[in-house]
């Protein structure tokens, strides 16, 4: 897996960034806006850097680079609000090079040199002779489709081409049927190249919008650190910080989804065409929300033209809307996903980014699939459940014997030292078989804590049983009055000779009814501050004085409340130093925070698609409804975004990059979209979805109930928003 640009692309990014910082400053963007939205000096400078030849083949005097190289330019252009029809010129110049031949080499040379501006019309002139063209106010020529021909048009000049518009860009409504025209190509081959250019434009604008959005949020975050209200920087207030955290997660997801779309085009994956439409729709929608929230963060000052954020607000609408209503992109994606519509995929050139988990991951995943094929009987499959209720001691033991229980652990502890990518692939196999990993995950956490902080006696008496698959563990963090604030624990541990006595209660100790041990957070010194005076123990659940009472949820699962009355624990079962539990807990919570629910989302969407194929509405399969396709496509997109955000977190951890909140992003986004999509898909397939009939109805029904808890356990969404605000955006510690 690789989320990094190549060395050449990083050098290119630095070059374009320096140039645009100098030549597309906010002051220069403002000046350009006042004079029609086009900056000739900037345009000439871009030409001198070879920008317009990035996608032009070398034999036509271009650089012959790939689409990812053009993405590098467009991301920097988005960050600096470059004034001119850059995306349109990049793709139109490629079309001219591919179709124009020697007859138009002079024009191509002038465009590459920045002496003339070439743009692209998005719609068939035969159907829309009058249409808006990006850069139409300054374009010397426009490439368009006219029926079964691709034509080069020279629009008439004169007044009216530079009329005022929302964002002061050089768009213009041009009458193209009367323009001077030259046929570049006729027939399928030429139309395919033109169609590929439109798809490439969508990707380029998508990444530009993602970069624009990120810069708007950066400016808002910077302001939120400086602006004081009620004696505090406004960034300390969750009402300011949390919306920005949501949006930076959406922005990063959109950027990397556009990158993944290019990767999937290169691999000729079946949904790549739909992903193009979804990438632009998502980034256009995200940009609108991001710039509005950024402006709102500035408060009344955001409305002032003296502040830069309003420029980002307006360009966020101007760039995508020249194509038309973004909602139509969602319809287009629906047709491509569920209606058989085919897109003409652009040639993307060399792609160095990689979203594949690798051969080792595939091999280990194949081994686990074979294990399930051999061991999961119909009775066991019927027992499968996403929660602790799906646990089976026999399968757990067999997984341990196959060294598939804790594969990432060192070999001395029964593991395989499997790389994180392989572990991720295994999780997917568990999800595909709907086999619960709850007991494995919590037991793995406890076992890891014992390896790091446990005594030799604890390792011998408990860790050995964990490794052999003979015991499982639950977590004793939350208390009835503490919720997510685990460090407010009041369960007491007091010295009792050489041992400890534990008194108190724990809430949501899931699995305690079947586990043998619980990882217990206790308060050992009430005189110290809340985050101090805490100590962790591994407590045998068969000890005298423990009572486990069930708490049933409407998610078809059982959790527990557990009571501890004079429970004796040996000091050797303590983890870490006395009163130093925060250090141990930090390691435990770091393992718990992150991950996501992309696999649950995938199963839900697949069930919804199956259901929509089975159900009839107005005498036709529901899947044929444009509304159903839109909503399914949106949910499908959310799965892709969850996967790419989760994979970015995984990759950054493997690369040992600084903790920038990528794990919390994965958990936050996937759980929130799982929740919102479960509601929507339940609505879409109503009233049939109310049933618990075996099949997609039952699956959607359960997905709706399952999703309700995902924004709570493993750290609530509010906790993760605060982490993202602090780690990703640099905002101060948040408070209510």
Which domains are seen in the chain, by residue range?
Answer: 7-193 (1.10.540.10), 473-592 (2.40.110.10), 598-727 (1.20.140.10)
Measured from the Cβ of residue 590, the count of other Cβ atoms closer than 10 Å reads 11
Return the pLDDT at 582.
83
- Reduced to 3 states (helix: H, G, I; strand: E, B; else coil), residue 415 is coil
* C-alpha of 525 from chain center: 42
Residue 3: phi, psi to the nearest 5?
-105, 10
Dihedral of alpha carbons 119, 123, 124, 129, sign: negative
Measured from the Cβ of residue 695, the count of other Cβ atoms closer than 10 Å reads 13
Instruction: Give the chain's residues under pLDDT 50.
Output: 159, 593
Measured from the Cβ of residue 193, the count of other Cβ atoms closer than 10 Å reads 20
Return the pLDDT at 584.
82
Return the pLDDT at 160.
55
Mean pLDDT, the chain, integer: 95
516 with 491: CB under 8 angstroms?
no
Return the pLDDT at 535.
94
* Distance in angstroms (rounded) separating the CA atoms of residues 129 and 151: 13
Question: Crossing angle of helices 238-266/717-727, nearest 10°?
Answer: 80
Name every residue whose Cβ is closer than 8 Å to that of residue 497 and which is 6 or more positions away in sequence. none
Return the pLDDT at 524.
95
* Distance in angstroms (rounded) separating the CA atoms of residues 580 and 628: 54
What percent of the chain lies above the pLDDT cut of 70?
98
Q: What is the value of pTM for the model shown?
A: 0.95
Measured from the Cβ of residue 693, the count of other Cβ atoms closer than 10 Å reads 10
Per-residue pLDDT tens digits for 115-150: 999 999 999 999 999 999 999 999 999 999 999 999
Whole-angstrom CA distances from 322 to 151, 160, 325, 542, 709 are 20, 17, 9, 68, 41
Return the pLDDT at 425.
94
Residue 473: phi, psi to the nearest 5?
-130, 155
Return the pLDDT at 727.
96
* Distance in angstroms (rounded) separating the CA atoms of residues 413 and 406: 9
* Distance in angstroms (rounded) separating the CA atoms of residues 575 and 57: 63
Return the pLDDT at 358.
93
Alpha helices (H) along 521-619: 581-592, 598-614
Measured from the Cβ of residue 377, the count of other Cβ atoms closer than 10 Å reads 10
């Amino acid at each position: 897996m690789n989320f990094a640009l190549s060395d050449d692309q990083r050098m290119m990014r630095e070059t374009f960034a320096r140039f645009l910082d100098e030549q597309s400053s906010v002051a220069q963007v403002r000046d350009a806006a006042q004079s029609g939205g086009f900056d000739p000096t900037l345009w000439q400078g871009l030409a001198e850097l070879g920008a317009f030849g990035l996608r032009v083949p070398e034999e036509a005097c271009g650089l012959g680079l790939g689409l990812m190289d053009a993405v590098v330019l467009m991301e920097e252009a988005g960050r600096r609000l470059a004034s001119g029809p850059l995306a349109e010129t990049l793709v139109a110049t490629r079309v001219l090079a591919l179709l124009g031949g020697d007859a138009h080499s002079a024009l191509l040379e002038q465009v590459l040199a920045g002496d003339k501006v070439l743009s692209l019309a998005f719609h068939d002139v035969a159907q829309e002779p009058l249409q808006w063209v990006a850069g139409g106010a300054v374009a010397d020529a426009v490439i368009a489709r006219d029926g079964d021909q691709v034509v080069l048009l020279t629009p008439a000049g004169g007044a009216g081409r530079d009329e005022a518009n929302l964002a002061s860009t050089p768009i213009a409504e041009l009458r193209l049927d009367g323009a001077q025209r030259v046929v570049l190509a006729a027939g399928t081959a030429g139309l395919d190249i033109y169609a590929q250019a439109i798809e490439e434009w969508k990707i380029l604008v998508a990444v530009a919008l993602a970069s624009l959005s990120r810069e708007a949020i950066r400016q808002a975050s910077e302001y939120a650190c400086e602006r004081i209200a009620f004696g505090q920087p406004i960034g300390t207030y969750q009402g300011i910080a949390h919306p920005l955290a949501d949006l930076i997660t959406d922005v990063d997801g959109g950027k990397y989804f556009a990158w993944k779309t290019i990767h999937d085009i290169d691999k000729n994956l079946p949904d790549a065409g739909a992903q193009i439409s979804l990438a632009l729709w998502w980034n256009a929608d995200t940009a609108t929300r991001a710039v509005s929230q950024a402006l709102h963060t500035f408060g009344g000052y955001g409305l002032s033209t003296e502040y830069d954020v309003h420029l980002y607000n307006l360009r966020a609408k101007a760039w995508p809307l020249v194509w038309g209503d973004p909602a139509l992109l969602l319809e287009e994606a629906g047709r491509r996903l569920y209606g058989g519509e085919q897109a003409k995929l652009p040639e993307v050139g060399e792609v160095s980014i990689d979203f594949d988990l690798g051969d080792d991951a595939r091999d280990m995943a194949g081994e686990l699939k074979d294990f399930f094929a051999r061991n999961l009987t119909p009775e066991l499959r019927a027992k499968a459940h996403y929660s602790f209720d799906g646990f089976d001691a026999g399968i757990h033991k067999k997984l341990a014997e196959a060294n598939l229980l804790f594969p990432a652990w060192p070999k001395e502890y029964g593991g395989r030292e499997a790389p994180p990518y392989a572990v991720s692939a295994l999780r997917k196999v568990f999800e595909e078989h709907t086999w619960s990993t709850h007991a494995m995950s919590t037991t793995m956490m406890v076992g890891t804590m014992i390896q790091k902080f446990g005594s030799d006696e604890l390792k011998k008496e408990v860790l050995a049983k964990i490794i052999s698959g003979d015991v499982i563990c639950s977590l004793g963090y939350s208390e009835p009055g503490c919720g997510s604030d685990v460090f407010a624990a009041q369960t007491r541990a007091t010295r009792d000779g050489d041992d400890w006595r534990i008194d108190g209660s724990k809430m949501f100790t899931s699995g305690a009814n079947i586990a043998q041990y619980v990882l217990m957070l206790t308060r050992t010194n009430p005189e110290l501050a809340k985050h101090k005076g805490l100590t962790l123990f591994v407590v045998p659940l068969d000890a005298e004085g423990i009572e486990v009472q069930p708490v049933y949820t409407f998610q078809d699962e059982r959790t527990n409340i557990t009571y501890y009355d004079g429970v004796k624990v040996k000091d050797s079962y303590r983890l870490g130093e006395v009163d130093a539990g925060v250090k141990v807990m930090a390691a435990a919570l770091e393992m718990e925070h992150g991950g996501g629910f992309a696999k649950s989302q995938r199963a839900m969407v697949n069930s919804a698609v199956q259901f929509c194929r089975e159900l009839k509405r107005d005498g036709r399969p529901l899947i044929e409804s444009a509304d159903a396709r839109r909503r399914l496509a949106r949910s499908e997109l959310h799965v892709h975004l969850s996967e790419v955000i989760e994979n970015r977190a995984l990759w950054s951890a493997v690369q040992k990059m600084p903790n920038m909140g990528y794990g919390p992003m994965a958990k936050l986004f996937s759980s929130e979209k799982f929740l919102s999509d479960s509601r929507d898909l339940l609505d879409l397939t109503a009233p049939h979805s109310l049933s618990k009939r075996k099949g997609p109805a039952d699956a959607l029904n359960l997905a709706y109930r399952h999703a309700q808890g995902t924004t709570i356990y493993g750290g609530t969404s509010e906790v993760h928003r605060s982490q993202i605000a602090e780690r990703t955006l640099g905002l101060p510690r948040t408070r209510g």
